[in-house]
Amino acid sequence: MKELITILGAGAALYIWQAQKFLASYSIVFLSAKFDYQRSLLTGFTNIFFKIRFDVVNPTAFAGTLQSGALTIYYKDIPIAHIIINDKINILPSGKTTVEMPVSLKSIDVIKNAPDFYQVFKNGTLEFVLKGKLNFNSGTVTINKTYPIQLPV
Residue 32 CA to residue 100 CA, distance in Å, equals 9
φ, ψ for residue 38, nearest 5 deg:
-60, -45
Residue 110 CA to residue 76 CA, distance in Å, equals 11
Q: What is the pLDDT along the chain (153 residues), one digit of tens a residue?
A: 666 555 545 555 555 666 677 767 777 787 877 888 898 899 998 888 888 888 888 888 888 888 998 888 887 787 878 888 888 989 888 899 998 888 888 877 767 765 566 666 666 667 788 899 988 888 888 888 887 766 555
Looking at the 3D structure of the chain, how many domains does it have?
1
The CATH number assigned to the domain holding 131 equals 2.60.40.10
Q: What integer pLDDT is reported at residue 117 of this predicted model?
A: 61
Q: What integer pLDDT is reported at residue 115 of this predicted model?
A: 57
Other CB atoms within 10 A of residue 80 CB: 20
Residue 47 CA to residue 42 CA, distance in Å, equals 9
Identify the domain containing residue 119 by its residue range: 2-150
- Global pTM reads 0.68
